[in-house]
Structure 1
Amino acid sequence: MIFKKALFFVITIFCCCLQRINAQNQFDQDQFLCRILDEDSKTPIFYATVKLLGTNRGVIADDEGQFRLPSTLDVSGKISLSSIGYRTKEIVIGKLLSNQINIIYLKPNVEELDAVTLVSGRKKKRRFTARQIIKKALQNIVLNYPKKPFSYIAYYRDYQQPVDDSYRVLSNQKKSTQYINLNESIIEVFDAGFGTDYLTNKQNQTLLYSYHRNETFAQDSGLAIPYDNVKEKYLESVIISPLGGNELNVLNITNAIRNHDRMSFSFIDVLDVDFLKNHFFSLQGIRYLDDTPIYEINFVAEDAASGALHFAKGKIFIAKENFAIHKLNYEVFKQKKKNALYRVALEYAPIKGKMYLNYITFNNKFQVNTDYYFRIENIFLDLDNMFFDVYFNRKLDKKTITPISNKFKITYTYKKHKVRIKDVLTFDDHLRIVIDQEQLFSIPDFNFKNFSEDIKLKIRNISDIDGNVINEIPKVTLNQYREIFVQEVFPGKKIKDTTKTMNKYAPLSTSEINLFKDKDKYWVNTPLKKHTGH
């Protein structure tokens, strides 16, 4: 009977896993899976814009150049694919295949630095310096970005990614884990306009249309740190404002262009005031978005701003014609470290003469204790025969139990009388520590009545078969990601009083879902899982 129950339990788990795999495969088959690559280098093009021609709707490819399209789209329709520095390409949806990843190449479109000039006046040509271009771009924010209300519908996600191989090793996984605790949503963000405070203005709100914890990817509750946990999730000596609220709230605040007149993050600080004085700039050349020439400018933080412990660098892309900031990439490192402490990438796109958010992604590195460590699972005290049976969560390396006097210690009562250990016996699944009864009973004031509460066992410096020392809790280094990818912008749209708005300071999962009649127009752009051989 026990065997039948165990067999039923195994079959049930297998069927559940199979259903999950089949559901993911069916989900993939109902969509066109695509990847955008550089035609010359064959490397992914980060965050390319994919638009449904004839509409204002679309999707943003991820940092692997990947995106999904619903198979319900009109196959006679077209999509356009664009990215700064590449020629825009149009593709008929009907030519995409539904049973494989469609590889799409974009051709680079870059102008060398020698050709970078700007006409000033009728005849005179002169080259603007990088610092002059930045200064003009900051002055023109009030002209190039919307001061009137608007909204956008977007795909939002947050998740963790291991920085190194430590999580895979500790969790005994054969393959590296790319996404952990992936949460996905369709949201609508209402903005009262540039110049209004994101936190305090009542018209600056977010509506949640869907929320989904994607369990086809790895889930680890131990890594889901509370959003206001300053000590664990944020960084010393740098500022990310504000240290609180949910992940979406943190992401919106770190938009240095939208919040150009207030603190965003180190070492951009207040963009209007500190960006120029905190960095060195160098003009690299011109890239094109369709026929629009855009300056590409590199920068690094001055030592006076970043201090001796940190190093910061980035790129900013500014339109040659109206000095609108199209894209800003920023990353901060601890000196001599290859992995960034945090990264920000954001892009704006022109719609009806104004610049609106296209995407923003922000991630920061943090360390967290993991549950994957060698520890005691249970201890049983046999009062008749006076021994402890100790069970562990992993297989014990029996060679590490000696010398016994250094590895095991038993004390009695608050006075901590030392109790002699007669023997330590090893079994397949546990240890038995045998107490010297004669010595125990000779201890002054020995009282059998409270014995089980007064006797204590301590074990140290033994290891499991993989060499992990007992109770040594390893730390896992992760990146916490938050990302918004805009699918449609609505200039002039205001929020209605009847909607259920998101609490900016509570987890997104606790927000109420709003009814949304146009939900089929927008889709969750779930990351494509890596497959063997691809």
Structure 2
Amino acid sequence: MFKIILSSFTGNQVVEMTPQIIDFCNKFPIVSFYKKTIIMKKFILALLVSFSLAAQAYCQEFSGKVLDQKTREAIPFATVQYAANRGVITNDEGAFSINRPVTQLKELKISSVGYKTREVDIADLADNIIYLETDIIQLDDVFLSDKKLSAEEILERAKERVAENYNIGNINRRFFFRESNLNKVKTFDLDIQESTIEDIDQKLMDSISASIPKSSDSYKEVLGDFSGDYTRQKVDIIKGANLHNPQSTASLDKLTDKLDRIFKENVKPDSYLKIKSGWLGVKVDVDEFSEENEKENKKPTKEEIAKSEEEKKQSLVSSANSKIPSLLSESFWDEDAEFDLFDRLNRYKFKVAGYTYLDNSLVYVIDFEPKGGSDFRGRLYVNTEDFGVHRIDYANVKPLKKFRLLGISSIDDVYRGKMIYSRDENGHYLPKYFEQEVGESFGIDRPLQLIEKNKNVVGRRKQNELDMDILIKVSQLEKYQLVVFNDAGEEMQAPKESSEDFEYQTFKKYDPEFWKGYNIIEPNAAIREFTAITE
């Protein structure tokens, strides 16, 4: 394999001499004149460019979007099947990509809850956009032997058949896992009430507050294989990426350095600081305070940077090994799961909202909401024949936990997700797509008092005092997405010597090339536009 570089008025163009191009050229006698005439040389090079561009177009993966035919809105989590038992799922923007050359793709079968299943020929697609038509089912047109069942009776039958429907045995599957961490600083106020140090004033504190990064995001992505069932899994990572955002704190560092400098100039070296917040207090020697600041401001060594990278990789391994089994084991029937619908059916109100087709099966559409003090509302899709649950969408209607004490508060205010299963030819329900979002809000509303005291000074020990009120409100959202591919069993990797023996990279900017050649769930706009803020 080698490359040639073509120069023209539009600039240089690199053409890769692939085996296909070489084979193409060898079929034509014109190649024998390549070194003899300039005209033929230019002609062949132009021919190579055309062929190369055409070959590259046919070898790249196929990407598209699934939209609602009427509203033109994206249809998330639709199934795009490109071969028997092989398919991908659209992301929350309706986008998908298939890691197959276009020449190997002919027809796509697209299905989604509430829409008519559609089969399309790739050659007929315009701009790779697929439109689905909503599926309206009239009850009079459907024959149901148990059509008089109430929503409660349907779910009781679904609960009774969990062991039968979800007894999948030991399966081997390829998976893709993404963890998103989103943090926001809503409020960061430092209000000075009293300061005996002239340069530490409200203007400095306002500058520090304004320099605090107001939002940050980071992502972990993992491709691998797992073997097991819903209760136990062995995870084998093939490839992993960490989109890490260390945040730019350059302006904040300058201000805090200024604050440290002011302290050093105004506080005696043999003094100590009494730091109090209400009746809570701690004593800190000034020299200890200075040493700690010097450690924090010291530039990391190569060894420390390498250690930090290894820690990021270990964090990715730990997250995959803990969260993937957690998502699978905490299915809707798990009595210990936070989402407790099936364990407490009597605490919810249910309503049969209609019927639709899902995975070529007629399903009940059942809405639920809390009765009394329960926590969740949402929608279920239950098979009308075997009462297997195809899909559940749920969200909390109130905070799950609250804590407030002495001006410190914590609220678990977000807990929502999706569980989507696919029914195999044996009637067993396999994991297909799981999503979970967990959010927390944290607050501090406390006074803060810093008092410099010095026992070596004659007379009054208190030298300086700084009193302020602190008001901080931050929020954190963690989102977990797990896609399980049906065709993974045929592509299982050979056992590795170490569970940490896999390709890993940390990015400060999203790189789509890293996942080229693999089926994943398409990144949303936030991930595609991810760029770490550097100093």
Inter-CA distance 146–55: structure 2 relative to 1 (3 Å threshold): same
Show the 5 A alignment for 1:204-215.
Answer: 204-214=233-243
The aligned residue for residue 479 of structure 2 is 481
Sequence identity of aligned pairs in percent?
Answer: 20
The aligned residue for residue 236 of structure 1 is none
Kindly provide the CA deviation profile for residues 62-110 of structure 1, in whole angstroms up to 9, marking residues without a partner as x. Answer: 222222334744364332221121112233445668xx7x433211113
Which of residues 286, 311, 320 is equivalent to 2:384? Answer: 320
Inter-CA distance 131–255: structure 2 relative to 1 (3 Å threshold): farther
Amino acid in the other structure paired with 2:78: A
Q: Secondary structure at the match of 1:185?
A: strand
The aligned residue for residue 265 of structure 2 is none
Determine if contact 2:331/2:337 at 8 Å carries over to the other structure: no
Show the 5 A alignment for 1:147-226.
Answer: 147-161=168-182, 180-191=217-228, 193=229, 197-198=231-232, 204-214=233-243, 218=245, 220=247
The aligned residue for residue 418 of structure 1 is none
Distance 1:329 1:289 in 2: 15
- Of 279-288 and 251-260, deviating more is 251-260
Distance 1:165 1:65 in 2: 30
Inter-CA distance 210–247: structure 2 relative to 1 (3 Å threshold): closer
Kindly provide the CA deviation profile for residues 436-479 of structure 1, in whole angstroms up to 9, marking residues without a partner as x. Answer: xxxxxxx5279xxxxxxx99755455xxxxxxx8xx46332132
TM-score, length-scaled by structure 2: 0.56
For residue 331 of structure 1, report the CA deviation from its aligned partner: 1.2
The aligned residue for residue 63 of structure 1 is 92
Show the 5 A alignment for 1:224-239.
Answer: none
Determine if contact 1:358/1:485 at 8 Å carries over to the other structure: yes
Distance 1:258 1:128 in 2: 25
Distance 1:219 1:96 in 2: 42
For residue 32 of structure 1, report the CA deviation from its aligned partner: 4.5
Q: Secondary structure at the match of 1:74?
A: helix
Which of residues 77, 81, 85 is equivalent to 1:47? Answer: 77
Distance 1:36 1:105 in 2: 6
Q: Does 1:351 align with 2:410?
A: no
Determine if contact 2:330/2:337 at 8 Å carries over to the other structure: no
The aligned residue for residue 508 of structure 2 is none
For residue 525 of structure 1, report the CA deviation from its aligned partner: 3.2
Distance 1:207 1:257 in 2: 20
For residue 283 of structure 1, report the CA deviation from its aligned partner: 0.6
RMSD: 4.4
Structure with more helix by fraction = 2
Distance 1:146 1:279 in 2: 27
The aligned residue for residue 302 of structure 2 is none
Determine if contact 1:152/1:190 at 8 Å carries over to the other structure: yes
Determine if contact 2:421/2:432 at 8 Å carries over to the other structure: yes
TM-score, length-scaled by structure 1: 0.56
Amino acid in the other structure paired with 2:180: Y
Show the 5 A alignment for 1:375-524.
Answer: 411-414=452-455, 444=458, 458-461=465-468, 472=470, 474-489=472-487, 498-499=495-496, 511-513=500-502, 522-524=518-520
Determine if contact 1:151/1:489 at 8 Å carries over to the other structure: no
Kindly provide the CA deviation profile for residues 481-517 of structure 1, in whole angstroms up to 9, marking residues without a partner as x. Answer: 0110122346799998x44686xxxxxxxx44289xx
For residue 146 of structure 1, report the CA deviation from its aligned partner: 3.5
Show the 5 A alignment for 1:214-293.
Answer: 214=243, 218=245, 220=247, 246=319, 249-255=322-328, 258=331, 260-268=333-341, 271=342, 274-289=343-358, 291-293=360-362
Q: Secondary structure at the match of 2:438?
A: strand
Amino acid in the other structure paired with 1:264: A
Determine if contact 2:111/2:117 at 8 Å carries over to the other structure: yes
Kindly provide the CA deviation profile for residues 191-232 of structure 1, in whole angstroms up to 9, marking residues without a partner as x. Answer: 1x45xx42xxxxx211101100135xx55599xxxxxxxxxx
Determine if contact 1:81/1:90 at 8 Å carries over to the other structure: yes
Inter-CA distance 367–39: structure 2 relative to 1 (3 Å threshold): same
Inter-CA distance 43–408: structure 2 relative to 1 (3 Å threshold): same
Distance 2:94 2:413 in 1: 21
Q: Secondary structure at the match of 2:159?
A: helix
The aligned residue for residue 228 of structure 1 is none
Determine if contact 1:190/1:494 at 8 Å carries over to the other structure: no
For residue 151 of structure 1, report the CA deviation from its aligned partner: 1.8
Count of residues in Structure 1 that have an aligned counterpart in Structure 2? 360
The aligned residue for residue 394 of structure 1 is none
